[in-house]
Structure 1
Amino acid sequence: VEQFFISVGLLVCLACLAKCMRFFKCIFFSFWKVLPSSFLQSMGQWAVITGAGDGIGKAYSFELARRGLNIVLISRTLAKLQAVAEEIEWTTGRHVKIIQADFTKDDIYEDIEENLKGLEIGILVNNVGMLPNLLPSYFLDTSDEIQRLIHCNITSVVKMTKLVLKHMDSRRKGLILNISSGAALCPCPLYSLYSASKAFVCTFSKALQVEYRARGIIIQVLTPFAVSTPMTKYLNTNLITKSADEFVKESLNYVTIGDETCGSLAHEVLASFLSLVPSRVFYSSAFRRLLLTRYADYLKQNANIR
């Protein structure tokens, strides 16, 4: 019995040490080491970004173009894609290619593959996603968009990765960034569908990195918390709530840090704190009432602002 508890204690200490190492790596990369643009350029000539019409996807498109890559923008709304492409070309001088695709459907990937032929793709950012219910709500009260959500949040990551990874594998280099969410770090009541779909992205990404790390390919999942985007509807930024541009610039410093990161030092601190909270707190009826009340107040404040 004594040996058993010693072994368990050692495992717990090792797990805590691993978390501390990730946290201290974030501090080091935040303040002392900036990833050079040459590293990203060495992956290949082109970067492919899904959900590139606005928010985090748009921010990645601009930042990777500034760092010397040509950009493939993929999203549903053609007008947004054209506007973003024109602005990127005007401000950075990089080449931009646009592909119109609705990721809530499953019959789009042959067309995407055809449009990507001949491009040396060094970076893929699987960013596209949908939040079926912005406000917290019980599963039976959510909109009937289950299959659309699965296609957008899960199928898109798997199929886009397969399209691009085979070429990265043949060249023995590449970078895949899969954008998940802080909601994936533990089951999230009142956001059950979204939380579960983003948890899939985490598990898939980390398993894939084990398979392809030795092939010279980096596959990293990002689990940010609050980022101000059209999807999240956060209006104001602060220490925790980042703008999309702030989040993207910081997250690119961490691409060599490991298979998972929150993409922001502030969010790493928040994740470490939340990991100490017992899960039963999140599952309690008091927490659900608090969440519902908070968003009722949020709606009132936004109504006053508008």
Structure 2
Amino acid sequence: MAAVDSFQLLYAEISRSCSGYYEALAVVGAVYAASRAVVLLRDCCGLVRVHFLPRLKPRRKLSQRFGAWAVCYGASEPVATAYAEELARNGVSIVLVAQNPASVRDTAASLSQNYGVETVVVLADFSVDPAAGKLVQDAVRGRDVGFLVTSVDECGAPPRPLAEASEQDLLDLLNRNVAGATLLARLLLPGMAARGRGAVVNISPGGCCRPTPGRAALAAAAGFMERLSTALQLEYGSRGVFIQSLTPLQISSSRRPTWRASWLVPKPDVYARHAVSTLGVSNRTTGYWPHTLQLGLMRKIPEWIWLLGSHVFIS
């Protein structure tokens, strides 16, 4: 009994001496929990502001807010094609810029027939023709161009280490995505700034936000597009031009037959409808709210776990 009594007395004495530390730890824990709650509330409000409110409240026509014509570069990509169709559905005429005429002529005819807008097809390949920008400049002369939409061409090639890719393939990828997007922005931005309105939308794969084996060049091009968008917003945002970086995740298309359409993997037209609604609202977004949730979770994963999973599933 004496041992029990002495233990209880010792415990009581220790509790009294440490009570100040317990209170301090309780305060720290409460502050941390409150800060995480504030961050969660901020993220939820941001999600609603970007992805839901713009689709609920009436807004002016896109052609009145930004301009009557849109230049879509990388028009053979399913996402870019769907984005162009959504703009056409809103009454915006389209200039389709692609290197393969067969891939866009049917799209141009379909847009004109279904939505009653004008369409122009420009065959320009920035990977082989230094004068490709001149072809686009001639096509847009005298037109009220209010949109420039560029999409990173993923090429559909299987993942492989950088050293195993041919020099020509790498040059083509970088010229199409990096040089093409930059030169077109340089060509069209002065006119937008002079009119005090316009939008530049750069679409790049959101999955490249984390390192992925076999995708070094593609990830570099996607990162460049994001940084280019940020820099252009600083340069031209105050002059009435809205710059947006779209980073979608998986999108179902004929190029990705294994990606079946679902809530998390939308069809291109569903994605485009959501993405266009974010114009003028957010400079950097996935364009589709389930992807925003996914991307937020991806960024919480420690990099070593991400790399381990990438090696396991890709190899």
Q: TM-score by structure 1 length?
A: 0.83
Kindly report which structure 2 residues correspond to 1:161-240, keeping only aligned pairs within 5 A, or say none: 161-240=185-264
Confirm whether residue 69 of structure 1 aligns to residue 92 of structure 2. Answer: yes
Give the drift of 1:72.
Answer: 0.7
Structure 2 Cα separation of the partners of residues 63 and 238 of structure 1: 20
The match for 2:296 among 261, 272, 275 is 272
Q: Deviations over 1:76-127 (max 9, x none)?
A: 2212322111111111111111111123234111122122211110111012
| Change in 2 beyond 3 A, CA 1:100/1:283 | same
**Per-residue deviation, 1:141:** 2.8
8 A Cα contact 1:132 1:142, kept in partner:
no
Deviation digits for residues 36-94 of structure 1 (CA, Å, limit 9, x no counterpart)? 56341121110111122351121112111110111111112212322111111111111
User: Does the residue aligned with 2:60 lie in a helix, a strand or coil?
Assistant: helix
Residues 1:289 and 1:271: Cα distance change in structure 2 (over 3 Å): same
1-side partners of 2:59 and 2:94: how far apart?
15
Matched, 1:89 2:112: yes
Alpha carbons of structure 1 residues 80 and 139: separation in structure 2 relative to 1, 3 Å: closer
Q: Using the TM superposition, name which of 173-182 and 104-113 deviates more.
A: 104-113
Of structures 1 and 2, the larger Rg is shown by 2
Distance 1:282 1:168, change over 3 A: same
- Separation in 1 of the partners of 2:230 and 2:178? 15
Aligned counterpart for 1:138 among listed residues 123, 140, 161: 161
> Is residue 38 of structure 1 aligned with residue 42 of structure 2?
no
- The answer for the alignment partner of 1:50 in structure 2 is 73
Q: Which runs of 5+ in 1 are unaligned?
A: 1-5, 293-306
* 2:282 corresponds to which of 248, 254, 258: 258
Contact kept, 8 Å, 1:52 with 1:128, in 2: the verdict is: no
Contact 2:72 2:96 in 1 (8 A): yes
Q: 1:249 to 1:116 in 2, by over 3 A?
A: same
Deviation at 1:132, TM superposition (A): 6.2
8 Å contact 1:47–1:121 — kept in the other structure? yes
Report the counterpart of residue 181 of structure 2 in structure 1.
Answer: 157
Uncovered stretches (5+) of structure 2, i.e. residues with no partner: 1-27
Aligned AA for 2:95? V
DSSP-derived class of the 1:254 partner = coil
The letter for the 2-side match of 1:86 is A
CA gap of 1:127–1:20, structure 2 versus 1, over 3 A, is farther
Structure 1 residues 68-77 or 222-231, which shifts more?
Answer: 222-231
The CA distance in 2 between the partners of 1:210 and 1:257, in whole Å, is: 16
Give the 3 Å change call, closer, same or farther, for CA 207–271 of structure 1 in structure 2: same
Structure 1 residue aligned with 2:150: 126
Matched, 1:113 2:134: no
Counting aligned pairs with the same residue, the percent is 24
The residue identity in structure 2 corresponding to 1:147 is: L
1:47 and 1:276, CA in 2 relative to 1: closer, same or farther beyond 3 A?
A: same
RMSD across aligned positions (CA): 2.5
Provide the secondary structure at the position in 1 that maps to 2:261: coil
CA–CA distance in structure 1, aligned partners of residues 153 and 310 of structure 2: 26
Q: After alignment, is 101-110 or 54-63 more displaced? A: 101-110
Quickly say closer, same or farther: Cα 1:37–1:143, change in 2 above 3 A.
farther
TM-score with structure 2 length normalisation?
Answer: 0.81
